[in-house]
Amino acid sequence: MLQLAVILPTFNERKNIALMVERLDAALAGLRWEAIFVDDNSPDGTADEARRIARDDPRIRVIERIGRRGLASAAIEGMCASAAPVVAVMDADGQHDETLLPQMYAAVTSGEYDVAYASRFAEGASTEAWGRPDRVKASGFANAIARRVTGVDLTDPMSGFFMLRAETLRADAHRLSGVGFKILLDILATVDRPLRVKEFPLNFAARMEGESKLDRTVVFEFLVGLYDKWLGRIIPTRFALFGTVGALGAIVHLTVLSAVLHLFGAQFQVSHYPKEAAFIVGQTLASLTAMTFNFVLNNELTYSDKRLRGFGPYLRGWLKFAATCAFGMLANIGVSTALIRIGVHTYPAAIAGIILASVWNFALSSKFVWGKYG
């Protein structure tokens, strides 16, 4: 009977596949196991390489995802695709010591533990061979804030090497976020009942071949995910991002406006309405710059999952965003002016107008620029 499935998410790991299979074969002798490579259509042909091996070895399976990216979601799909009662996730690059797998299996099947995982920071673990002191520091920091925000108290909640019973995962799989790299943390923070966790000290090795895929986007998604768990229910994450981008846009606006007034203020002195002319030019230029800045940043960050690409969609998106913001601005001016007329002070009135315009811009652009009517 099939006992264990090892899930190996891959992106551009072609040169590591054969070696990984060899290492698993040696480590798991005596167990009935399968290995599932979950590849996101890697340009280097990782999936082809895995299929080549799978043709001769029925223990090897391949899931190839098209148009998708992400370590955590790949791990979840791999775990859900196996009939094995116990599932493990590990890097496909040799960094995780596969000889720990039998001990992890024993811990999870003993009934004493729900989860077994390998920690880079437990006593007896080491990260020296990794050769990345910068990443050791960054992981320590990420672990510390993850512990604070989620209450998960492990030495390495960011670890990507763990094992658990498939039923434990299946019960809550639909509630996992599936974003970024933080799959173990996600499981521990999502499952309501406390899970009994067995920790194994890991000697985290250097990669066999290729490069790490943990980049700035992954770090950004991690921070967004923490925010979501922390304050997401009070101020929705997307709106918080949109608002932050908007605040940065306001700074851009004021910078451009003051630059125009400084640089060209004197030239406009010759016209009939010197001050107004410079202001109108400055304000128009500043609005367009800030609006474009907001569009670009929202497209990259706030809606990174629905990012508009290619000249046509990008231009259409920009025009729709401009139209949305134009209406938002009218509403802003209308409401703040009305408030001032009924005796509200200038700044509270201005802030009320800004909040109203932000909500309007957010509601409309989320549907018509990046949403289902986009």
Query: Between 226 and 265, how does the x/- string for binding to Mn ion read (CB under 5 A)?
Result: ----------------------------------------
Residue 39 binds what, of ligand GDD, Mn ion, none (CB under 5 to 8 Å, by partner type)? ligand GDD
Kindly tell me which residue out of 39, 49, 93, 97 binds Mn ion, with binding defined by CB under 5 A: 93
Instruction: Compute the least distance from the CB of residue 93 to ligand GDD, in Å.
Output: 5
Residue 328 binds what, of ligand GDD, Mn ion, none (CB under 5 to 8 Å, by partner type)? none
Is there a contact between 155 and 49 (Cβ–Cβ < 8 Å)?
A: no
Is there a contact between 65 and 26 (Cβ–Cβ < 8 Å)?
A: no
Minimal CA–CA distance to 184: which of 213, 149, 218, 160?
A: 160
Instruction: Compute the least distance from the CB of residue 179 to ligand GDD, in Å.
Output: 11
- What does the alpha-carbon distance between residue 362 and residue 364 come to, in Å, rounded to a whole number? 6
CB closest to Mn ion, residue no: 91
Instruction: Compute the least distance from the CB of residue 127 to ligand GDD, in Å.
Output: 10
Instruction: Compute the least distance from the CB of residue 91 to Mn ion, in Å.
Output: 4
Contact positions vs ligand GDD (CB under 6 A): 9-11, 13, 38-40, 69-71, 74, 91-93, 95, 139, 158, 160, 181, 212-214
Q: For Mn ion, which is the closer residue by CB, 114 or 186?
A: 186
Is there a contact between 206 and 130 (Cβ–Cβ < 8 Å)?
A: yes
Single out the segment in contact with Mn ion by CB under 5 A; choices: 87-95, 120-128, 278-286, 341-349.
Answer: 87-95
Q: Is 95 a residue that touches Mn ion (CB under 5 A)?
A: yes
Q: For ligand GDD, which is the closer residue by CB, 204 or 295?
A: 204
One DSSP character per residue, 107-167 reads HHHTSS-SEEEEESSSTT-B-TTT--HHHHHHHHHHHHHHHHHH----S-TT-S-EEEEHH
Instruction: Compute the least distance from the CB of residue 283 to ligand GDD, in Å.
Output: 43
Q: For ligand GDD, which is the closer residue by CB, 173 or 259?
A: 173
Is there a contact between 162 and 89 (Cβ–Cβ < 8 Å)?
A: yes
Give the C-alpha distances (Å, rounded to integers) separating 33 from 52, 202, 234, 259: 19, 22, 45, 66
Instruction: Compute the least distance from the CB of residue 359 to ligand GDD, in Å.
Output: 34
- In eight-state DSSP terms, residue 203 is B
Q: Is 91 a residue that touches Mn ion (CB under 5 A)?
A: yes
Instruction: Compute the least distance from the CB of residue 316 to ligand GDD, in Å.
Output: 28
Q: Is 365 a residue that touches Mn ion (CB under 5 A)?
A: no
Single out the segment in contact with Mn ion by CB under 5 A; choices: 29-37, 39-47, 93-101, 339-347.
Answer: 93-101
Minimal CA–CA distance to 106: which of 163, 147, 68?
A: 163
Distance from the first to the final alpha carbon of the chain: 49
- What does the alpha-carbon distance between residue 210 and residue 70 come to, in Å, rounded to a whole number? 17
Q: For Mn ion, which is the closer residue by CB, 36 or 90?
A: 90
Minimal CA–CA distance to 209: which of 49, 34, 7, 5?
A: 49
- SS3 of 310, please? coil
Is there a contact between 72 and 14 (Cβ–Cβ < 8 Å)?
A: no
- What does the alpha-carbon distance between residue 14 and residue 168 come to, in Å, rounded to a whole number? 31
Instruction: Compute the least distance from the CB of residue 53 to ligand GDD, in Å.
Output: 16
Q: For Mn ion, which is the closer residue by CB, 113 or 181?
A: 181
Single out the segment in contact with Mn ion by CB under 5 A; choices: 89-97, 112-120, 314-322, 336-344.
Answer: 89-97
Instruction: Compute the least distance from the CB of residue 189 to ligand GDD, in Å.
Output: 15
96-135 residues in contact with Mn ion (CB under 5 A) are: none
- SS3 of 64, please? strand
Binding residues vs Mn ion (CB under 5 A) = 91, 93, 95
